[in-house]
Amino acid sequence: MSEPIVVGVDGSAEALRAVDWAAAEAGRRRLPLRIVHIAVHWEYSIAIREPGLEAPRPEAAGLGVLEIAEERARTFASVDVSCRLGIGPIPATLLQEAADAALLVLGPHGTGGFPRLLLGSVSRQAAEHASCPVVIVPRDPGTRPGRSGIVVGIDGSEASIDAVGFAFEEASLRSVGLHAVHAWAHPAYPPEMRAARYDTAAVEQEGARLLSESLAGWKAEYPDVPVTEQVVEGAPAPVLADASGDAELLVVGARGRGGFPGLRLGSISHAVLHHAKGPVAVVRGRPRQTA
């Protein structure tokens, strides 16, 4: 059976926009769509029931959330839709429900938490721990005119190599171009010292070499995808977040070359999720089999 695209819903408007994105993606990939709602156990012994329903809350309310989301998803033609109601702690149970997923799609935050937060705890934990790529769909899912193509951030790390493959696949599925970006920044030296320590032309040349090597094999595999390459001087997170404003999808690796090896989500990916202006895919390679 094909791996499904899984979308998490909680009754929020953000979650319904994620359903739209996930259903369209399921249609492009010809994969089934699984809509998941996680209901938290009622911790008290008092039975609380919805009027006219036998199922106790929050399970009954969860079924209503799923029904609305399923109706929304079925407006997309030729998508096989199923629904699952999970019971338990939300982040852990959601990850269990998405264990066999090709892709996990979520809104930035749902009905809980603080409205001013750009990224909720459930979405953050999913991006940190899911074994499959995770797409976070913002309040503006990127349907406004002017968005085109896929943007991928490349830094030469193993995670960015996985991101490049995913980005090429997305560009091919959508019949759009791919824009590959490598951003670099000086360390925190005073401006008057930077020229003595860095040959800017050499750094730009090294960045162009890194892009060329990272893209070469994928260009051969996806000859239908036109590719542009750009080396940008600037902090990677704001450069990529800004590039997302014109893209259908921004793709980043789960972690880059810097930081601590034990981290599941790097600081750049985390910052991009908070500040991107369109949908973001965080790609983590599947665990590799050892002999």
Domain annotation covers residue 93 = yes
Q: Which domain holds residue 77?
A: 5-136
Domain annotation covers residue 219 = yes
162 in the same domain as 50: no
Domain annotation covers residue 141 = no
Choosing from 90, 107, 136, the residue where a domain stops is 136
pLDDT of residue 20: 95
Indicate if the pLDDT at residue 291 is higher than 80: no
9 in the same domain as 132: yes
Number of domains in the chain: 2
Choosing from 88, 104, 136, the residue where a domain stops is 136
Give the Cα separation of 238 and 243 in Å (integer). Answer: 8
* β-pairing verdict for 280-283 and 81-87: unpaired
Query: Of 140 and 136, which is predicted with more confidence?
Result: 136
Helices 200-221 and 158-174 cross at an angle (nearest 10°) of 50
159 in the same domain as 130: no
pLDDT of residue 285: 61
Per-residue model confidence as pLDDT tens digits over 158-182: 778 889 999 999 999 999 999 999 9
Domain annotation covers residue 288 = no
Per-residue model confidence as pLDDT tens digits over 12-61: 888 999 999 999 999 999 999 999 999 876 544 444 444 454 555 557 78
129-133, 198-202, 238-242, 256-260: segment of lowest average pLDDT: 256-260
274 in the same domain as 164: yes
Domain annotation covers residue 291 = no
**Cβ atoms 177, 225 nearer than 8 A:** yes
pLDDT of residue 204: 85
Confidence grade of residue 194 (pLDDT, cut at 50, 70, 90): low
Cβ-based burial of 190 (10 A; exposed 0-12, middle 13-18, buried ≥19): exposed
Choosing from 136, 158, 191, the residue where a domain stops is 136
Side-by-side strand order, sheet with 103-106: 81-87, 33-39, 5-8, 103-106, 134-136, 280-283, 249-253, 150-153, 178-184, 227-233
Ranked by mean pLDDT, the top range of 111-115, 122-126, 191-195 is: 122-126
Domain annotation covers residue 275 = yes
87 in the same domain as 198: no
Closest CA to 21 of 187, 214, 226, 249: 249
* pTM of the full structure: 0.83
Give the Cα separation of 117 and 114 in Å (integer). Answer: 6
Domain annotation covers residue 85 = yes
Cβ-based burial of 165 (10 A; exposed 0-12, middle 13-18, buried ≥19): middle
